[in-house]
A and B are shown apart, each in its own frame.
Chain A
Amino acid sequence: MSKKPVQNTTDPTNDSASLGVAEGKRTESASKVNRVPSSLDTAGLMERRKSPRIATTPPAPDAPPKFDDYGPIVGEAELSEIRYVADTLRGRTVKMVNSTAVGGGVAEILNRLIPLMNELEVPTKWDVITGGNDFFEVTKGFHNALHGEQYELTQAIKDIFLSYNEQNRERMTFDEDVVVIHDPQPANLIKSRGKKGQKWVWRCHIDLSNPHAGVWEFLRPMVEQYDATIWSSPAFTRQVKVPQYLFYPSIDPLSQKNKPIEENYVAKVCDDFGIDRNRPIITQISRFDRLKDPVGVVQAYKMARKYVDCQLVLAGGGASDDPEGAVVLAEVQEAAGGDPDIIILNLPPWSALEINAIQMASDIVIQKSLREGFGLTVTEALWKSKPVIAGAVGGIPTQVIHKLTGMLVHSVEGCAYQIRYLLTHPEFAAQLGRNGREHVRENFLITSNMKRWLLLYQLMLGVAKKEKAA
């Protein structure tokens, strides 16, 4: 691929542009600057939309980035501070335990976080609990129940959970200074706490704001034996008798989904999917799930189209292996009603680069969720300086601060209006994008997470020099 200027670079120190650009001033959208146009004509694009080119095999994985690779992104001063904190922990060891080595957000985070921690000489081991199908059926049931679904919690179910936790306890060793247990599946490993001075942390990645009472009361006594708990949002917490820390989830700016990519590649992906780069592009990237309200997005798009020209891209996955996903996909296709400017893409799980390209090509990214965990798809879009329109649910309001880093909406009509507004006020939209990127740089990058983990270890192990608020 020839060297072309990569997208995804903004000057964080340039805050000369202010919000509130004069009404009626319309300038070229930031997404269109340096944009390689479509190589297909309109007829070609329409044909491509009927048969998009979707990769059938995963791409070769990138080499994992080194800690210093983050210097140009967060600054050397930030890296120095992280190194300093890590140095104070020299010789201390950590173990992290979760339920799966591949698939899912937790595994994705740990795959990046743990090598970086080891590079900073904070030896961190990663262990994964094992269990039979019955155990994972139980934990899946717990997962849904903790999100508020109906569930029949029986003694047999509890016994299965406890039994597999016990088996894992016998198999694993816990000699480290700090043990971190991720999510409910391994929660009862706390019974292995033994080494003097050892600290145990429970990291909850899910939204426990409205859990099934029985399941929570079953887990609560285990959670309250930990030295500290970590949550992704204050709204997700329960009242427990142990300290609760706030760690936002994070993205890796050097992953395939977020790294800077060549403009030529963005153009190629758009051509592969029949996306016309000469016209505004509105995108929602989510699996086909009713809680993401893809039908609502189609409705909002149709309302907005009466006033502004644009295309809608709905790119998601999961419809192939999830019966409910296939039903939702069919609902979306019906709602689209054959509109040639609604491009629906059912992408395989290895489409990180394509998703990156679609987000980069977009003028607006939508996440009109009706319920959401933290919403890392929003983080990804913000990091790419895209103006985001999102549902005010879950962790989204932490990221999308209304009118500052994006626009929060509560209805189809609200979403439609914001599409119209942002497409007709590109300077305001661009400022939202700039603010959004800085918000992510400060709070939601993997380096921020590394710092939080290291600080927590420092404080728990009594190594840190805390400063009192005077």
Chain B
Amino acid sequence: MTTQSFASAKNLPADCRDAVHALLLATADTKMFLGFHYGEWTFGTPALEAGIAACCMSQDEFGHLRLLQACLTTQFGDAPSALLEKRALHEFANIACLDRPLVKWADFVAINLFADGALTVILTGLQKSAFVPVANFVDKMVEEEKHHVRNAQGWFRTLATYNSQTRAVLEEASRWALSPTLEWLGPANHAMAQTLEQHGVINASWETLRGRFLDWVGAFAHDQKISIGLEQQNGRWTPTFPLDFSQWTPQVRRCTPSQPDEKILYHLRGSKNAVFKLSE
């Protein structure tokens, strides 16, 4: 790993530049969908306080999205419209469990723990990044994400211990959310991840970051006696279900072709109110 820092994207080596761009775009996409789902669950939560927390987390995610999109625009020259309005559905690189509306509260808890949790582990990997524009904002994101993790763990524990029905629904939702989250994280090692580590953009190998996530959620779910499809092998938590990364690319981070629901994009793009959009 080099100790050189990069004040702007134009200083990055070409292969590293592409890798940083792909990672930031996938992170921004996931935060956009998380923000949408959290915002939708301002209402209909099991408690008023849970709705306030969901709304607050939605604001955090959209704030983070704003920072990431500003970085993509100023550092990489992405046109703002190309990030959302003019992008084909199959190009979005969000975690696939966020593609559809969340049906039940346990789904919310599952995406909060697994999807948001995985993203937070990756954000911690970007702390003290050699790519200065990211290093400048990532600490604030990680600080705010601590509350998201606490919310996820608090609700996971609550549903895991309340009664057999909430336990069963939580287990089902966890398995539904974990697999696409691991798809998004990708294989333990790939060329783009090696480039990111080699140039000090991330502070650990991708395998280490992925392992941190698995060890955290594996041990946590095990403590709550919830079976999520992970087992411990030689002290490390690994999936018991198959993941075929033969078609996986760092651009969309999915093992099989899939895309978000057009209705969600309709809301995120503000299509209904397009007439009120001010020109740039």
Chain A complexes with chain B: no
What is A's interface to B at a CB cutoff of 8 Å?
none
Interface residues of B, Cβ cutoff 8 Å to A:
none
